[in-house]
Chain A
Amino acid sequence: MLEAQMELTVDELKGLVSQRAIDGETMILNMGPQHPSTHGVLRLILELDGETIVNCVPDIGFLHTGIEKNMEAKTYEKALVMTDRMDYLNPLGNNLCYCLAVETLVELDVPPRAQVVRVLLTELTRIASHLVWLGTHALDLAAMSVFLYTWREREILMDIFEMCSGQRMMTSYFRPGGLWRDLPNGFEEAVQQFIDLFPDRIEEYENLLTENPLYIDRTRGIGVISTTEALEIGLTGPNLRATGMPFDLRKTRPYSGYEQFDFEVPTASNGDTYDRYVVRMEEMRQSLRIVQQALVRLPEGPFRSDNRKFVPPPRSELGHSMEAVIHHFKLWTEGFSAPKGAVYVPVESPRGVLGCYLVGDGGPMPMRVHFRTPSFANLQALPMLAKGHLVADLVAIISSLDPILGDVDR
């Protein structure tokens, strides 16, 4: 029984591949799910004519963990920890998206300090995510040293995240109403050190790749997509900006105070793998600019809202205030209730538009949470991009889309 399921049947393939494959003229090749350059557990069914890809059918779902279903059985605050685990390279960005959705639904205000810290840490996460992308992308194209250098800088960022949240990756640091706790001592110095160091390091990566003839050969003209096609297939983020369209939700619909920061939206014009690389490199510089500005203007004040119906009181109040004890007890047992209604909050994640659709039913648990994840939407463009290229180029195309399989399958 099990073996029969594992095998690819002709019936399953009908409609997915051309008649030539069923007649045996072209070859069907299974790639993944356990393949080092599919960035996780992505399975592709390739139809090949020689080494040229005629057809590419992605098969996803190997990392499905039922996050949306699980969140329906948790209170709003407890459901937050699930969001870290979706896009594990952008945990703080996911936290932010979910918190904004909850805050919109219950109409909760966030103090200025928390907003600036959120922007600062989200941008650091963006840099960390792009560093992982850059390292693995270069590794897929056999440039191993880049990987080692990017991991070195990512480690500094991981230390910063650990410093404020206690966790390197599964941070859960942003909470509805603000932050889990205030920034620790030494945070500002650590970020300042990173700001001083990082511009040189970006130069270092660029020296390795930007004008490297081998890299250019492997990426220029590979996986080209136009702006219209990209929008039709739902491609967003750096992949869309590489086609020449300066679409960035941080600019068009600023959230969490992004309108106060001065930054550019980098674009390129050809929409190929090389341009997607160029855009991401420039994005790291722009993110660093935002981090720099956020650090300078970091306001003093409370780090979370004092609305006691939604945000638990500080520990120090519990000793002398009965009301604080009641709020503490209510919030950590029952949780807060959200009104009946639905909100949709899109934000710009390192990969594109990350949207949270949140439905409240008047109770303490969400009735439905849906994440419009950028990796899922972007991966849909893969068959279009891959057609007509060589198998070796497919590896470059997959990594240039930057899919995170945890984000695809949720």
Chain B
Amino acid sequence: MSGAKAFLAELRQELEDRVLDSFEFRDQFTAVLQPDAIADACEFLRQRDFDLLIALTAADHWPEEPRFEMVYQLYSTHLDVLIGLSVFLDGDEPKIPSIETIYPNANWHEREVFDMFGIDFPGSSDLRRIIMPHDWEGHPLRRDYPLGYEEVQFSFNYDEIDKRKKYAKD
């Protein structure tokens, strides 16, 4: 586990104040980065044998700001070291550079985050919805997106409900 700590120190040296914070929680090491530093950080760790992007996802801290947290877990199969990178993004038009050129498998994971959270990834080669239908409105994993409890539309009340329904229209 100490390996991860050393890598974080190196990362801090390389990126200087673009690493906002680094901490340990339950034996897992995480660096908090500025949004523009993610590609450099990934490139830096990629060259230090972190060959597997094991997870890329996001969390929504609504109603707190900054609202979105992007989470990257990089793993080195040779050294057995796991490092977490986390980036906080504003709720207003959140976007973060794609890391697809560094880790090609980021493509689908970024598409999933785009689909579920509405975070934009400039530089991605193919940013489309992946799980929800292509004409879906809204981003289901945002905390302000309702979990069910929608009124069922029958022919007698279809128009009335349709008027106040925000999404799922054609």
A contact set with B: CB distance below 8 Å: 1, 5, 12, 15-16, 60-61, 64, 66, 68-70, 72-73, 104-105, 107, 231-234, 236, 245, 247, 252-253, 341-344, 346, 353, 355, 357, 359, 367-368, 370, 372, 376-377, 380, 409
When distances are taken between beta carbons in the complex, the residues of chain B under 8 Å from A231 are 51-52, 77
- CB neighbours of B161 from chain A (8 A): none
B residues whose Cβ falls under 8 Å from a Cβ of A = 25-26, 28, 30, 51-55, 57, 59-61, 71, 73, 75, 77, 80, 82, 84, 103-105, 107-108, 112, 116, 126, 129-135, 140-141, 143, 145, 147, 170
One of B59, B60, B141 near A342 (C-beta < 8 A): B59
- Complex Cα spacing A70 to B141, Å: 10
B84 touches A69 (CB 8 A): no
Distance, CA A341 to CA B53, complexed state (A): 21
The answer to whether residues A69 and B59 also contact, given A1-B170, A245-B77, A353-B54 and a CB cut-off of 8 A, is: no
Chain A residues positioned under 8 Å from B57 (CB to CB): 357, 370, 372
In angstroms, how far is the closest chain A Cβ from the Cβ of B80? 5
- The 5 nearest A-B residue pairs measured at CB: A234-B105, A61-B131, A372-B55, A368-B59, A370-B57
A292–B75 Cα distance when bound, in Å, is 32
Interface centre among B80, B103, B130 (most CB of A within 10 A): B130
Q: What's the Cα separation between A64 and B133 when bound, in Å? A: 10
Instruction: Tell me how far the C-beta of B13 lies from the nearest C-beta in chain A, rounded to whole angstroms.
Output: 24
Q: Told that A16-B126, A342-B25 touch, could you supply 15 new A-B pairs with CB distance under 8 A?
A: A12-B134, A66-B140, A68-B141, A231-B51, A232-B105, A233-B104, A252-B80, A342-B30, A342-B71, A342-B84, A344-B84, A357-B71, A370-B59, A376-B108, A380-B108
Instruction: Give the chain B neighbours of A107 by CB distance below 8 A.
Output: 26
**Chain A at the B interface: SS class:** mixed
- Could you count the A-B residue pairs with CB atoms below 8 Å apart for me: how many are there? 100
> In the complex the two chains form, what is the Cα distance from A104 to B24 in whole Å?
13
Interfacial chain A residues near B28, Cβ < 8 Å: 343-344
- Chain A residue with Cβ nearest B108: A380
Give every chain A residue within 8 A of B25 (Cβ-Cβ): 341-343
**Closest A-chain residue to B147, C-beta based?**
A73
Partner of A355, one of B54, B61, B80: B54
In the complex, A368→B75 CA distance in Å? 21
Of A64, A234, A236, A353, most buried by chain B (CB within 10 Å of CB) is A234
A344–B108 contact, CB under 8 A? no
Q: Which residue of B lies closest to A235 (CB)?
A: B105
A342-B59, A343-B25 known; A372 and B131 CB under 8 Å?
no
- Please name 16 pairs of A and B residues whose Cβ atoms are closer than 8 Å in the assembled complex, sorted by A: A61-B129, A61-B132, A64-B131, A69-B147, A70-B147, A234-B53, A344-B55, A346-B73, A346-B82, A355-B55, A368-B60, A372-B54, A372-B73, A377-B108, A380-B108, A409-B131
By a CB distance below 8 angstroms, the chain B residues around A343 are 25-26, 28
- How far is it, in angstroms, between the C-alpha of A329 and the C-alpha of B105 when the chains are bound? 46
A346–B54 Cα distance when bound, in Å, is 9
Contacts of B75 in A (CB 8 A): 346
